[in-house]
Every structure is written in C-alpha cells, then in structure tokens.
Amino acid sequence: MSDKTTHFGYKTVKVEEKAGKVAEVFHSVAGKYDLMNDLMSGGVHRLWKRMTIEMSGVRRGDTVLDIAGGTGDLTAKFSRIVGPEGTVVLADINDSMLRVGRDRLTDLGIVNNVKFSQADAQYLPFPDNSFDVITIAFGLRNVTDKDLALRSMLRVLKPGGRLLVLEFSSPVQSSSI
C-alpha cells in the first residue's frame, strides 16, 4: 500500500481504497439512482444532459461511447439520434448500474443499436480511433486516476471526434483584470 491519497466526496481516502468505496456506493443505490438523481438535482440534470447532446453535434450513423453511463439517460437520447446505422456503447464499471440501465432501456424499447460493456474508464477495452463522440457524465469524479482515464478516452476517440465531460466544479474567480 502507498501513502498516496485522493478525494472521495468530501473525504480523503487512500488511492487504493477509492475504487472499492465508489463500487459500494453504486451497488447500493443502483435500484433508486434515477429517483435520487431527480430529487437531488430538482430535475435539472435532464437539462444539462439535453445540452450535452446538443453540444456533442452527434449525427445519424455515428458511433458513440457513453462512459460511466449508469442507467443510460444519455445512451437513450443518443440511440434515437444515431438511428439503426449508428451504435451507442453504454459502458460502466459497475454491474448493478449496468443491469438497471439495460432493464430500463429494454423497457423503453431501445436495444437494437445499443451495446453494453462493463468497463473501467481508465482502461477502455476498445480499439484506437473507434468513436465519433464520447461522453462521461458525472463520472470522472469517481475515477481514481483521471489523467489515465482521459488518455484512454483520447485513444479510442476518432481524430476530429468530440469528448464531452459533464461534471460539477467550483467556479474560480480570476483577479487578473
């Protein structure tokens, strides 16, 4: 074990412990994640996700990777836009979240152009230059080595492709005027 630490919510934990703690949280909330998301954001996450789709410039026939896609909100929207000529991969490290996502998309009738992949954002199991669009919504904060994950995303993104990271942060005020 090393002495290196990292953030886990407002806590500081050992680097080696973070993935296990993140997994525990999402295994336990998977069944009620969508309800919690609506309650905790007052439904605003839906607006942010719609903006993400618009900014992605996604088109019919595109190949899309939704990393840390959880219960599949973005995947469902992408799936409708890329149509039968396109593909959307819903990737998440957590099998409980993926299972809820798969059931939900099946209930919505969205399955034909969607693939599911249990994958760690740090070690994406896809060939180089595979995707036109990659998103990671409220997921990067959960990843232990964010640089490693971003490099992995860049590797699988096609040249000229678009990566969108949807995340919370504290605004920084510049004093250099």
Ligand X SMILES: C[S@@+](CC[C@H](N)C(=O)[O-])C[C@H]1O[C@@H](n2cnc3c(N)ncnc32)[C@H](O)[C@@H]1O
CA distance 77 to 163: 16
Distances (CA, A) of 93 to 41, 97, 98, 119, 139: 23, 8, 8, 5, 10
Residue 10: both structure tokens together: 């407002």
> Contact with ligand X (CB under 6 A): which of 64, 88, 114, 121?
121
Q: Which of residues 37-56 bind ligand X (CB under 6 A)?
A: 37
Find the shortest distance in angstroms from Cβ 26 to ligand X. 4
Of 101, 114, 31, nearest to 70 by C-alpha is: 101
Q: What is the DSSP letter of 125?
A: -
Binding status of residue 137 toward ligand X by CB under 6 A: yes
Tell me which residue has its CB nearest to ligand X.
70
Is 88 a binding residue for ligand X by CB under 6 A? The answer is: no
Site map (CB under 6 A) of ligand X, residues 139-158, x = contact? x--xx---------------
Per CB under 6 A, residues contacting ligand X are 22, 26, 37, 67-70, 73, 92-94, 97, 120-122, 137-139, 142-143
